Structure 1
Amino acid sequence: MAIPPPPGPQQPDGPFPPPYPQGPHQGPYQGPYQAPYEASGPYQVWGQGYSPYNRPAPVNGLAIAALVLGVLCFLPAVGLVLGIVALAQIRKRGERGKGLAVGGMVMSSLGIALFALALATGGARDFWDGFKDGAGDSAGTAFTLKKGDCFDAPGGSLEGLAYDVDKVPCAGRHDAEVFADFKMSGGSYPGDSKVVDAADSKCYALQDAYAMDAWAVPDNVDVYYFTPTRDSWSGGDRSITCMFGNTDEKSGLKGSLRKDDFTLNAHQFAYLQAAVVLNEAMDSAPEKGYVEDDLPGHKEWATRVSVALDDQARLLRGHGWFPAAEKPIAVLVDDIEASRKEWTKAAAAEDADTFYAHYEKGLKLIDPRRTVTARKVLGLATTPPSSDGGGGNQGDGGDGTGAEV
């Protein structure tokens, strides 16, 4: 049956008019039209498009994203663009989130300004360098050493695995001094032996560029190096660090061994630079030590030494020495030129005996002890090393195969 609606402001209290007539024979119309209200209780009828629970409009997703990017300063330009798009969608769709979008735009604008300032002042580069250093640490590089650094190793040992070192001033007692570093290349780990071979070969070749005056290097000092492990290699570590250390771990080193253009004066550097020319040639001696076993190889070696002596004399003559050094250097140049003639004859020898005769005369003329006077005037070390190396090191005077001016 039809139930009349409850009284409302548009309808007076009291008896309700009868329902709308169902046909022409029901009698005359007695009141205003009231549509029958079919319901099970006194609930309001809602029109299409509305919810009886009054649900709020949804929040725009781009506005949320803009705020997040703005707060985190992550891709600030993207956060600014998302905020602008979000405002347009909010106006069009009637969504909420205008405050979020505006907040994201403001924060993103600040992020862009800070990024531009960092680029202008170099802050971005510093941040990236710091990030790379941190990445290197996480990849297994526990410390960073550069040329000229001195340090103490845990336990005083320069052998075995090293996880950390303590940098200390070179003037005091220390375990080691770094003289060079370089990086290996390659994808997969080449193996322990190849890494050690690369370190051994390169570090010994680089030592003379740092310690040009071999006479100033104590006899108990040798070359050591840090190399990557298999684990650190997989994390990107390719660095090899070359250093000087004492063969007696308890003694260590004191004072810097650095003697290069960074520490030497112009005259000292010119003298030692000329000495390097001869030492490199002397280093190229044949593997077979006896001339009888390889006369052609020794004759080629004598030719290289002759050329080096000529270059050495030219370098020494071409430098402008201070007055006290002019005479000692002139005496050395005369010895060098006389020695060059003997080495040239050795290079043309027809037999081993002839080679030996000229070789011995030439070698005596460039005996390291003949350079002490010039060294003293220049302020360089004056005590020849007592090592018995094979002639490659500057100033070696042990077995007659090493020489310098």
Structure 2
Amino acid sequence: MAVAADQQTVDGGEAEAGAEPEVAEKTADPARFASVFRRFVRGTVGDDVYREPRWSRLALGAVLPSVTGVLWPLGLLLAAAAVYRIRKVGQRGSVLAWLCLAMAVIWLGGGTPVLGPWFGSEAVGPQGRAIVDLKVGDCLSGLLSDVQVKVGEAQVVPCTLPHQGEVYARPSLGDAVYGTDTDLSEEAGKACPPLLSDYAMDSWAIPESVTLDAIYPGHGLSTAIRHSTAICIVEGDRAGWKGTLRRDAGNLTADQLTYLRAARAADDAWAAEPERKPEDHPDIARRWAGVLATGLETETKALAQAGWPGAVGPAVTALSAELAQAVTHLRAAEHAADDATMLAELRLGVAHAGNQQAKAARAALGLATEPGRPLPTGI
């Protein structure tokens, strides 16, 4: 009888009175429908609006180019797009996108190696940079050949690595009309050499093998009417050196600066020494004796006016005493009545120039103690 009743219910589609249906019918939820519709309008993608948001592929793709600096413009675009997209559709990776964007901006601003603290600054090799974008203090890998100048690019490396050149000045050549390429080159050659002493205040710290070079943006153009800026470069041999040649207020102590400023006048006088032999050109030698005497007097006065700490004081006092003797002989040479007396006094003045005393003072101050043998600065 039970089987027949069940069959009747199935065939006739009628259930017994008072019996509940086996499966309850699902009812529509208006609140859930409204939530789905709002999220659809806001742009949520995907079929299942309730599952956990996916990571932004744009943010993930920006990591490598932004962190390493390889194709950093691509990293900048991907990171910016990721920030916009994440805010729009609610994906994961907002912090990552912002970090990648910040790293790409760092590369845009000049290329500080983001991975330096982990891999060390020496892991960074030469980086090509347009010659017009070279800055004072840039260290250059390789000698700046005519080929590089015409291409317009130089290889810049950290100064802690071996390098063969440094940019020491960017003087303005002013607004002018230059008829040939040689005109600009000559103007740059005149403007650059006097500026080396501002970049490398310690002349003893400049290697003997270096030479001075000067180029300018637009090198290779036959005619130019523009405001031009020269690029002054000190170059060495292919062996190069480590550490910057820069010696100024940025990496010298107050006492070192005082000493080097005091010696500036004497250094300039020594640099003006005639190439011709004194006995062959006594008049030129006589004039130079006066120039050197003035330079040493200026140095002596400046050294006496400063207060020197510790062991520096006695060394500077000994130097000043020796320079005073030199000045006496040099003035005698300047005003000598005959050439023989002039030559004898000039030799005595040079002999009392205080080379050994200067080495002692420099050693006490922590400066280079041999001309042409700079102490490494680690910069």
* TM-score class normalised by the smaller sequence: 0.5 to 0.7
Contact 1:189–1:230 under 8 Å retained in 2: no
Q: How many matched pairs?
A: 242
- 2:144 corresponds to which residue? 158
Quote how far apart the aligned CAs of 1:353 are. 0.8
Contact 1:179–1:244 under 8 Å retained in 2: yes
- 1:274 corresponds to which residue? 262
Quote how far apart the aligned CAs of 1:372 are. 1.3
**What does the per-residue CA deviation read over 1:23-45, in whole Å, with 9 as the maximum and x for residues that have no partner?**
xxxxxxxxxxxxxxxxxxxxxxx
Alignment CA distance shift 1:216-1:293 (3 Å): closer
Matched ranges for 1:29-108 at <5 A = none
Counterparts of 1:245 and 1:194 in 2: how far apart (Å)?
A: 22
* Secondary structure in structure 2 of the residue aligned to 1:317: helix
Counterparts of 1:360 and 1:279 in 2: how far apart (Å)?
A: 18
Matched ranges for 1:166-245 at <5 A = 166-227=155-216, 228-231=218-221, 234=224, 236=226, 238-245=228-235
- 1:144 corresponds to which residue? 133
1:243 is aligned with what amino acid?
I
Higher relative contact order (CA 8 A, sep 6+): 2
Counterparts of 1:346 and 1:238 in 2: how far apart (Å)?
A: 45
1:360 aligns with 2:347: yes
What's the RMSD between the two structures over aligned residues? 2.6
Between Structure 1 and Structure 2, whose CA radius of gyration is higher?
A: 1
The equivalent position to 2:281 in structure 1, one of 293, 302, 305, is 293
Quote how far apart the aligned CAs of 1:288 are. 4.5
Counterparts of 1:173 and 1:182 in 2: how far apart (Å)?
A: 26
Counterparts of 1:256 and 1:286 in 2: how far apart (Å)?
A: 30
Counterparts of 1:235 and 1:186 in 2: how far apart (Å)?
A: 7
Contact 2:139–2:159 under 8 Å retained in 1: yes
Contact 2:333–2:346 under 8 Å retained in 1: yes
2:146 is aligned with what amino acid?
G
The TM-score, its normalising length taken from structure 2, stands at 0.58
Quote how far apart the aligned CAs of 1:230 are. 4.7
**What does the per-residue CA deviation read over 1:71-112, in whole Å, with 9 as the maximum and x for residues that have no partner?**
xxxxxxxxxxxxxxxxxxxxxxxxxxxxxxxxxxxxxxxxxx
**What does the per-residue CA deviation read over 1:27-64, in whole Å, with 9 as the maximum and x for residues that have no partner?**
xxxxxxxxxxxxxxxxxxxxxxxxxxxxxxxxxxxxxx
The equivalent position to 1:384 in structure 2, one of 367, 371, 374, is 371
1:322 aligns with 2:312: no
Alignment CA distance shift 1:326-1:280 (3 Å): same
Moved >6 Å (runs of 4+): none
Contact 2:289–2:334 under 8 Å retained in 1: yes
Contact 1:245–1:253 under 8 Å retained in 2: no
Contact 1:369–1:384 under 8 Å retained in 2: no
Contact 2:185–2:215 under 8 Å retained in 1: no
- 1:40 corresponds to which residue? none
Alignment CA distance shift 1:292-1:225 (3 Å): closer
Counterparts of 2:242 and 2:215 in 1: how far apart (Å)?
A: 21
1:261 aligns with 2:249: yes
Quote how far apart the aligned CAs of 1:287 are. 6.2
Alignment CA distance shift 1:218-1:274 (3 Å): same
Counterparts of 1:247 and 1:320 in 2: how far apart (Å)?
A: 40
Alignment CA distance shift 1:142-1:318 (3 Å): closer
* Secondary structure in structure 2 of the residue aligned to 1:187: strand
- 1:96 corresponds to which residue? none
Alignment CA distance shift 1:187-1:309 (3 Å): closer
Counterparts of 2:182 and 2:342 in 1: how far apart (Å)?
A: 39
- 1:246 corresponds to which residue? 236
Counterparts of 2:367 and 2:168 in 1: how far apart (Å)?
A: 20
5+ residue gaps, structure 2: 1-108, 110-129, 375-379
Quote how far apart the aligned CAs of 1:242 are. 0.8
Alignment CA distance shift 1:282-1:215 (3 Å): closer
1:159 is aligned with what amino acid?
S
Quote how far apart the aligned CAs of 1:237 are. 6.0
2:202 is aligned with what amino acid?
D
What fraction of aligned residue pairs are identical, expressed as a percent?
A: 28
Quote how far apart the aligned CAs of 1:143 are. 3.4
**What does the per-residue CA deviation read over 1:243-281, in whole Å, with 9 as the maximum and x for residues that have no partner?**
122222xx2332101011221111111111121111212
Contact 1:184–1:239 under 8 Å retained in 2: yes
Alignment CA distance shift 1:150-1:286 (3 Å): closer
The equivalent position to 2:300 in structure 1, one of 313, 318, 335, is 313
Quote how far apart the aligned CAs of 1:186 are. 4.3
Counterparts of 1:309 and 1:235 in 2: how far apart (Å)?
A: 44
